[in-house]
Amino acid sequence: MRYSTALLSLLFLCISYTVSAQQPGLVVKDYKKKKGEKKQKYTLDQFQGRWQENYCTRPSEKAVVTITDTFYIRFFDGDKTTTKQGESVVITGSAEIYKDEYITTSANDFKIRGITKDVMSLEDNMGNVHSFVRKDIFEYEKAGPPPPPPLDAEKYTIDIAFLKTNWYAYRRGANPGFVKSETALIKKLNITEKTGDNTYKGQVEYARYGKAIVEAFTLTLNDNKITIVAEGNTWNMELYKCDAKELVIGKKGELVYYFNNDN
């Protein structure tokens, strides 16, 4: 009997200890990286300051690219940024870094190749790698900002027979302050089919609030005026140039897109 009582007492103590050990107390959370989750490698703080392009290469061809329009990119505290290329106007907007190590500036999107205290390397969508050095002041600021170049639409050729193709926006020209984070900035136009005498359809890729969006669109062309209608936005623009290599559309004095034939 005593043996049974002692055994029951020991069993009760074991059960009590087990229950107590499972009571909620100090919860240790597992902060290990989840499977498939990628840690952000870069932050906007690393990019703060003025960056001036000083070298450009095309690794796929093992070639040095002659710089004709120098990039000037400035990152401010927060997400504000300005971009200027060559003699173009300064474009003000917002910057954002994606987890796939792409950075969007106020006018361009780049793949981040690397950054140190004084050197930055960015790759554009054409495969060109742009090297930048940190500057206290840009060269163009020393002499004062040059006036924006005029858009000589009269010199351009318009042949809509070349309109139906894939177009990649390699450059944008905008008046200061026009581009904001909510502005829908076109990156690509894939015009796939002519559906009528002056109508087309295809797919547009654009960015808004730093996010890439791809949607189907319809395009109407009347007297060199282009209307592109997608689910999330409508663009009303002028057609300034269209040939086998380049498409130029937009609104003079606001925002003008320069596209390369991406085929």
The domain that holds 58 is classified in CATH as: 2.40.128.370
Token pair for residue 183? 């502005």
Domain boundary among 108, 142, 176: 142
Domain boundary among 142, 173, 206: 142
Q: pLDDT at position 109, please?
A: 85
Residues 123 and 160 in one domain: no
Residues 163 and 132 in one domain: no
Instruction: Please tell me the pTM assigned to this model.
Output: 0.50
* Residue 1 falls inside a structural domain: no
Q: What is the pLDDT of residues 146-198, one digit of tens each?
A: 444 556 655 678 999 999 999 998 888 777 677 777 889 898 999 999 999 99
Residue 119's identity, in one-letter code, is V
Residues 157 and 133 in one domain: no
Q: pLDDT at position 145, please?
A: 45
Residues 254 and 164 in one domain: yes
Tell me how many domains the chain contains.
2
* Residue 33 falls inside a structural domain: no
Residues 94 and 185 in one domain: no
* Residue 93 falls inside a structural domain: yes
The whole-chain average pLDDT of the chain stands at: 80
Residues 229 and 160 in one domain: yes
pLDDT of 36 higher than 60: no
Residues 136 and 160 in one domain: no
Q: What is the pLDDT of residues 126-146, one digit of tens each?
A: 889 999 999 998 887 775 544
* Residue 66 falls inside a structural domain: yes
pLDDT of 255 higher than 60: yes
Average pLDDT of the residues in 235-260: 91
Sort strands 109-115 and 119-123 into parallel, antiparallel or unpaired: antiparallel
Could you tell me the residue range of the domain that residue 245 belongs to?
153-261
Residues 185 and 254 in one domain: yes
Q: Residue 73, Cβ neighbours under 10 Å: how many? A: 27
Q: pLDDT at position 19, please?
A: 35
Residues 126 and 167 in one domain: no
Residues 112 and 168 in one domain: no
Q: pLDDT at position 192, please?
A: 95
Separation of alpha carbons 104 and 84, rounded Å: 14
pLDDT of 92 higher than 90: no
DSSP, residue by residue, the chain: -HHHHHHHHHHHHHHHHHHHHTS--S-----SPPTT-------GGGG-EEEEEEEEEEGGGTEEPP-SS-EEEEE-SSSEEEEEETTSPPEEEE-EE-TTSEEE-SS-EEEEEEE-SSEEEEE-TTSPEEEEEEESS-HHHHS-PPPPPP--GGG--B-GGG-SSEEEEEEEEE-TTT--TTS-EEEEEEEEEE-SSSEEEEEEEEEETTEEEEEEEEEEEETTEEEEEESS-EEEEEEEEESSSEEEEEETTTEEEEEEE--
Query: Is residue 93 within 8 Å of 105, Cβ to Cβ?
Result: yes
Residues 174 and 248 in one domain: yes
Q: pLDDT at position 12, please?
A: 45
pLDDT of 11 higher than 50: no
Average pLDDT of the residues in 198-204: 96
The CATH number of residue 188's host domain is 2.40.128.20
Q: pLDDT at position 39, please?
A: 59
* Residue 119 falls inside a structural domain: yes
* Residue 202 falls inside a structural domain: yes
* Residue 36 falls inside a structural domain: no
Residues 56 and 122 in one domain: yes
Q: Where is pLDDT greater, at 214 or 36? A: 214
* Residue 7 falls inside a structural domain: no
Separation of alpha carbons 221 and 160, rounded Å: 9
Query: Is residue 167 within 8 Å of 259, Cβ to Cβ?
Result: yes
Average pLDDT of the residues in 84-101: 82
